[in-house]
Amino acid sequence: MASVLQKIKIWLTTIQNSDEKTKRRYLIIASAITMILIISLWLIYLKSTIQGVNQETASQTSNTQFWQIFKSGLNITGQSIKENIQNIISQIFQGKTITIK
């Protein structure tokens, strides 16, 4: 085990003492390997999550259609816009007071 750590330490020292082009190459290679590893783990996690969701939705029957959901979303959005417009109008026509000292 110690010899492996010594080899790694020597390898890192060699990289540290090398020119900037070599350091940049090792940086790019290490970054690419790390990105591939992280994306692979993320995809594995995503795949297992999607399979779990698909199993749950398969067991549940849903009668809600797309247009029903769309309609309820429009109603909620319309009500929110209406309330915001009413608030703006009430602020515009609200009595303004000016105090002169």
Angstrom distances, CA of residue 8 to CA of 46, 60, 84: 34, 54, 63
Mean pLDDT of 41-51: 86
- Among 4-8, 13-17, 67-71, the least confident range: 67-71
Contact 15, 22 (CB under 8 A): yes
Query: Tens digits of per-residue pLDDT, 23-35?
Result: 999 999 999 999 9
Q: Show the tokens assigned to 41.
A: 């783990």
pLDDT class of 49 with cuts at 50, 70, 90: confident
Q: What is the pLDDT of residue 63?
A: 54
Please tell me the number of Cα atoms within 13 Å of 28 on its side-chain side.
Answer: 6
Cα(31)–Cα(3) distance, rounded to whole angstroms?
26
Where exactly are the structural domains of the chain? Answer: 2-92
Q: Which residue has the higher pLDDT, 55 or 38?
A: 38
